A and B are shown apart, each in its own frame.
Chain A
Amino acid sequence: MSKTKNVSKPPAGGTSRREQLRQQQAQAAREHKIRTWTTIGIAGVVLALIVGAVIWGITNSSTGTPSTASRNVATQDYALVIGEQDAPVTISIYQDYMCPYCGQFERANRDDLEALVANGTAKVELHLMNFLDPQSQGTNFSTRSANALVTVANAEPEYAMAFNAAIYDNQPGEGTSGLSDDELVALARGVGVSDAVSATFADLANADFVNGSNAAAYAAGIKSTPTVKINGEDFTGSQIFTAGALRSAVENAAG
C-alpha cells in the first residue's frame, strides 16, 4: 500500500560497525519525525471530515427536509402536486402520456425537476390530460396511463415520479394502441409499486379524476401539450426541450 521514495541505503561494504549504527539511528530519527507529521495529517483529515459532516448536517436541516420533499405528492384541484407546499416557485406541467413532445420535455428536464423539488426551490403541479385518447386505436391509453399514475400517487406517492419517468421511458408512438394494462403494471412494479396497488390499475377508479383534470385544463385555456408554466407564466418555445433552460428560468423566478 505505502510506496515511498525514501529508500534506506544498504550498508556499503567495509563500513565500520559504528558507522552502520550511526546511519540506523539517523534513519530512525528521520522516520520518527515524519511519523509525527503523518499522525497529525491523519488526525487532521479525520477531524476535517467530521467537521464537514456536521456542517453539512446543519445546513441541510436548516433548509427543511429536502430528503422527503420529492415524496410529497398530493392530489388537489385536479393536479398532482410534488414537493413542498411553500416552495417559492410553482412549475405547472400539462401533459398527456400519448404526446411525444411531453416525453421529450420530461426526459430533457427530469433531473432538473427532481433537483429543484429536492432542494425546495420549486414544487411541480402535474396536470394529467387525456384528450389524445382517440390516438390509441380505441384503447384509451391516455386515460389508462394517467389513471395508473393517479392511483400510485394516492396510494404510494413515493413512487409517483419514478413511475411517471418509467412511462415516458417506454412511451408508445402516437397512433399505436399504446401500452397494455399489463405493461403498465410491469412498469409500476419495476419502480417499486406494490402488487396490491398495481393490480387496481384496470379498475380505472381515477378515470373521473383524469377527465376532470382534462376539463379543468381546457377551462384554463390550455390548447396543447406540453404546456409549461412557471408561477403561472407560460414557458414556451424550443427551450423547453433543452436541459438546463427550465432550471435557470425557475432559479431566476426564485430570485
Chain B
Amino acid sequence: MSELFERVHRFRQSNGWIFGYMLFSSLISLTASFVLSVDALELARNPGADLACNINSVISCGTVGATWQANLLGFPNAYLGLIAEPVVITIAVASLAKVKFPRGFMLAAQIVYTIGLVFAYWLFYQSMFHINALCPWCLLVTLSTTLVFSSLTHVNIRDNNLFLPPRVQNALASGLRMGLDGLIVVLWLTFIVLAILLKYGAALFA
C-alpha cells in the first residue's frame, strides 16, 4: 500500500503529469472562454436571446452575462481568457517537449495568472452572492483556472522559479514533497462544491 502511495506521489511530481493536466485544464478554460465570448456577442445582438445554458432560475448564463460584472473592464471578461490561456497552452506544450523556460519568464507567468485567479474568484463570488445565478461555462472557467493555477504554482515551487527567500522556498518545497498541494486543491474544490449545494440546493435541479 505504502509503495503504491509512493508511486502515485512520484507520478504527481513528474513533468508529464503536471504539464499534461496544465494543458488539459487550459484547453478547457480556452473552450469555455470561447463559448462565453460567442454568447456575449449573441447577448449584445439580442438581449433576450435564449442561450443553451439557460437551464433554470439558478443556472442561467443569460442572467449572468447581462450584468455589469460580466463586462468589468468594458468588454466581456471572457476575452481575457482568450488572451491568457493560449500562453499557458504554449508553456505546457513546450514544457512537455522538454523546453526549459527562464525563471523570470515563469515568475511573470505566475504573477499574471495569480491576478487571473483572483479575478475568476471575484466573479464567482459576485455570481453566487450578488447576481444569484450561476452560469455553467463560468463555473468551468473557475474550475479550470484553479487547476491551471495549481499546476503552474506546483512547477514554479518545484523548480524554484519564484525568487523566494530560501526559508520560504524550503518550506514550500517540503510541502510539495509531503503532497500537501494535492490535499489543498481537493479540499478547496470540495469547499466550493459544498458552498454551491448549500446555497442553492434543490433549486439547481429544478
Contacts and interface: CB of A to CB of B under 8 A. Distances in A.
Interface of A: 1-8, 10, 27, 31, 34-36, 38-42, 45-46, 49, 60, 66-67, 69-70, 114-115, 117-119, 162, 186, 189-190, 192, 194
Contacts of B174: 4, 6-8, 27, 31
B102 interface: no
Interface string B183-196: 11111001001000
Contacts of A67: 205-206
A66 B185 contact: no
Contacts of A1: 149-150, 153-154, 157, 181, 184-185
B203 A35 contact: no
A27 B170 CA distance: 12
B50 interface: yes
Given A2-B157, A39-B5, A194-B50, A115 B202 contact: yes
A118 B171 contact: no
A115 B203 contact: yes
Contacts of B205: 60, 66-67, 118
Q: Which of A1, A34, A114, A194 has the most CB of B within 10 A?
A: A1
B186 A46 contact: yes
Q: List 10 A-B pairs, minimum CB-CB distance, nearest first.
A: A189-B48, A2-B175, A118-B206, A4-B175, A38-B179, A2-B180, A34-B178, A2-B181, A192-B50, A1-B153
Contact of A192 (B54, B157, B167): B54
Contacts of B150: 1
A70 B205 CA distance: 10
B176 interface: yes
Contacts of A7: 167, 170-171, 174
Nearest to B182: A42
B74 interface: no
Contacts of A69: 206
A31 B47 contact: no
- The dominant DSSP class at the B interface is helix
Interface residues of B, number: 42
Contacts of B193: 49
B178 A38 contact: yes
Interface of B: 2, 5-6, 8-9, 47-48, 50, 54, 56-57, 62, 149-150, 153-154, 157, 166-167, 170-172, 174-187, 190, 193, 202-203, 205-206
B179 A3 contact: no
B176 A2 contact: yes
Contacts of B185: 1
Contacts of B54: 192
B96 to A, nearest CB: 21
B9 A35 contact: yes
A2 B158 CA distance: 11
A49 B187 CA distance: 11
Contacts of A3: 171-172, 175
B186 A45 contact: yes
